[in-house]
């Protein structure tokens, strides 16, 4: 049995006066790609923000590497190997691509290896290499998503959390993003992927969780869920 890297127990989060997450349990094991799917407003992003310390939690606990991380901020968690690609990219718009990638490595001081990792990001995303001195704010949505993913990888995470990476992107760019998620996972990074695009998310995942109105209503093997009539009717329009 693979080691549990991330464990969420009885998590409750109120956001803007609304109980957005109503006591959920799930876990992510080492070497897994787990998808958390659900429609807009289900509580997925709130869950991710709670895990990364961007939102306070009302009840329950979040364990990472067997220890509670409740109350810890994003800065502490990145140092421990938990990195997030936020919804809406969150790139530093007034910095160049190269500066954004260097910011992703702010917890590190191994300069030669940082440069090697930048080169690796440029291998994954050749388009970023072509525009390396361009301001991030002038990039397309897809390019900003690539940059956000590259920046997160610069911290060499054990667990990569990705929140709606395909949102608002052209179909060709969605293909590229999912290809990269698959490649990152294949290189041994554990991934928790939050996605509205249920079919694409479940197709590349090991396990899946369905979230509706702040609760988890279904979980299991991702490929089995992909063919489940209830999932297909609710999320795949069938």
Ordered domains of the chain (ranges, CATH) = 31-52+82-235 (3.40.50.300)
SS (H, E, C) 5-16: EEEEEEEEEEEC
Predicted local distance difference test score (pLDDT) of residue 41? 86
- In tens, the pLDDT along 197-216 reads 899 999 999 999 999 999 99
State pLDDT tens for residues 179-202. 999 999 998 999 999 998 899 999
Mean pLDDT of the chain: 93
Sign of CA dihedral 215, 49, 184, 232: positive
pLDDT attached to residue 125? 93
Please, where are the H alpha helices in the chain? 44-51, 74-79, 97-104, 111-124, 126-130, 141-153, 171-186, 198-204, 222-226, 229-235
CA atoms of 146 and 131, how far apart (whole Å): 12
CB 51 within 8 A of CB 2: no
Phi-psi region of 164 (alpha: psi -120 to 50; beta: other; left: phi over 0): left
Question: What's phi and psi for 152, nearest 5 deg?
Answer: -65, -40
pLDDT value of position 153:
95
200 three-class SS? helix
The pTM is what?
0.93
Average pLDDT over residues 47-75: 94
According to DSSP, the β-strands at 59-64 and 33-37 are: unpaired
Q: What is the pLDDT of residues 88-98, one digit of tens each?
A: 778 999 999 99
* 238 pLDDT tier (thresholds 50, 70, 90): low
Q: Is the pLDDT of residue 59 over 80?
A: yes
**What pLDDT score does 118 carry?**
97
Q: How many CB atoms are closer than 10 A to CB 61?
A: 13
Residue 155 CA neighbour count, 13 Å, CB half: 26
Over residues 130-136, mean pLDDT: 96
Q: Which 3 state secondary structure label does DSSP give 100?
A: helix
Backbone φ and ψ for 204, nearest 5 degrees, come out as -105, -5
The Cα–Cα gap between 194 and 197 comes to 9
Confidence of residue 237 (pLDDT cuts 50, 70, 90): low
The pLDDT value recorded for residue 67 is: 96
């Amino acid at each position: 049995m693979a080691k549990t890297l991330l464990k969420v127990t009885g998590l409750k989060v109120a956001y803007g006066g609304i109980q957005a997450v109503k006591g959920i349990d799930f876990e992510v094991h080492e070497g897994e790609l787990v998808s958390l799917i659900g429609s807009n407003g289900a509580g997925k992003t709130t869950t991710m923000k709670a895990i990364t310390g961007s939102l306070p939690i009302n009840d329950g606990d979040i364990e990472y590497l067997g220890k509670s991380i409740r109350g810890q901020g994003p800065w502490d968690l990145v140092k421990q190997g938990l990195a997030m690609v936020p919804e809406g990219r969150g790139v530093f718009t007034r910095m160049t691509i190269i500066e954004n990638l260097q910011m992703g490595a702010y917890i590190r001081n191994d300069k030669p290896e940082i440069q090697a990792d930048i080169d690796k990001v440029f291998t994954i995303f050749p388009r970023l290499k072509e525009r390396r001195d361009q301001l991030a704010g002038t990039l397309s949505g897809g390019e900003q998503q690539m940059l956000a993913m590259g920046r997160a990888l610069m911290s060499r995470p054990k667990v990569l959390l990705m929140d709606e990476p395909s949102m608002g992107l052209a179909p060709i760019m969605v293909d590229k993003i999912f290809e990269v998620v698959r490649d990152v996972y294949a290189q041994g990074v554990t991934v928790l992927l939050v996605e509205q695009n249920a079919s694409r998310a479940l197709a590349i995942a090991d396990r899946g969780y369905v979230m509706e109105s702040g609760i988890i209503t279904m979980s299991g093997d991702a490929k089995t869920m992909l063919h489940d009539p209830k999932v297909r009717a609710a999320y795949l329009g069938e």
